[in-house]
Amino acid sequence: MLIFGHRGASGYAPENTLAAFELALEQGCTALELDVQLTRDEQLVVIHDFWVDRTTNGTGLVREMELEQIRQLDAGAWYDAKFAGEKIPTLEEVLNLVPEHILLNLELKIIPRMRGNIEQLVIDLLMSKNRQHQVIISSFDHSAIQIVQEYLPEIKTGLLLYGQLLDLPKYINANELDLFSIHPAYPYLTEHTVAVLNRLKKPIYTYTVNRSEDLGWCYQYGVDGVITDYPDQAQKLLEVY
């Protein structure tokens, strides 16, 4: 089972910061999940919420802020004083930090009416650094997946699901989604839904699985990967199985 560090090792360090990604790598994580957004000046930054308020000392909508403003913010102190000074990283900084063999699950966070051209910018950056191979681009915004596919058909894409789609194969066909993987929310997974998803013959990577009993369940029912805030604990548990 593949273990993705969710926003890095975000159970131990402020999410989506270089500190959280470094820690996940130190813990032996071979796959990372992170959230990517666009600033007003069309720079790619790594942050989960559309607003900076929860995870920084600032206030405002990421999409309405310039990179320079965003770089002034402290993205670590809210979590623990020992992380004071951590910044919201750019996607490029994360690529520079993370070795090429690590699988990166880049989740595009998009406000539809302010979408800009995030898909193209992400792909251009990946290609300029020759990092387009060990990457899955995922999004709850499935039109982003279509755009990514059109722009670079060989790149891996992951379908992020929150609820349950009644007829997922039909949905995938109707929207001509050429997917690498399916990323369902763990609370919606049952033995039956795993069996249905398995018929698609694509890896299932579920989120966010933090409790040992839930990790055990995923292992037992053949889920291919988990996205977790505690990658070290998931790894230890798997060693027991």
**Binding residue for ligand G3P, selected from 86, 107, 214, 232, defined by CB under 6 A:** 107
Interaction of residue 207 with ligand G3P, rule CB under 6 A: yes
The mark string for 152-191 relative to ligand G3P (x by CB under 6 A, - otherwise) is --------x----------------------x--------
* Residue 158: DSSP 8-state: E
Distance of alpha carbon 138 from alpha carbon 87, whole angstroms: 24
- Count residues contacting ligand G3P (CB under 6 A)? 11
Known active-site residue 6: yes
Between vectors from CA 107 to CA 102 and to CA 142, what angle results, nearest 5°? 130
Q: Minimal distance in Å, beta carbon 185 to ligand G3P?
A: 8
* Residue 188: DSSP 8-state: G
| Tally of CA atoms within 13 A in the half-sphere of 78 that contains its CB | 16
Q: Which residues pair with 110 in a beta bridge?
A: none
When CB distances are held under 5 to 8 angstroms depending on the partner's kind, the choice from Ca ion, ligand G3P, none that residue 183 binds is ligand G3P
Known active-site residue 48: yes
Closer residue to ligand G3P (CB): 51 or 84: 51
Distance of alpha carbon 164 from alpha carbon 79, whole angstroms: 33
Count of helix runs (H) and strand runs (E) in the chain: 9, 9
Q: Which residues bind ligand G3P (CB under 6 A)?
A: 6, 33, 35, 48, 107, 138, 160, 183, 207-208, 227
Q: So which residues are the catalytic ones?
A: 6, 48
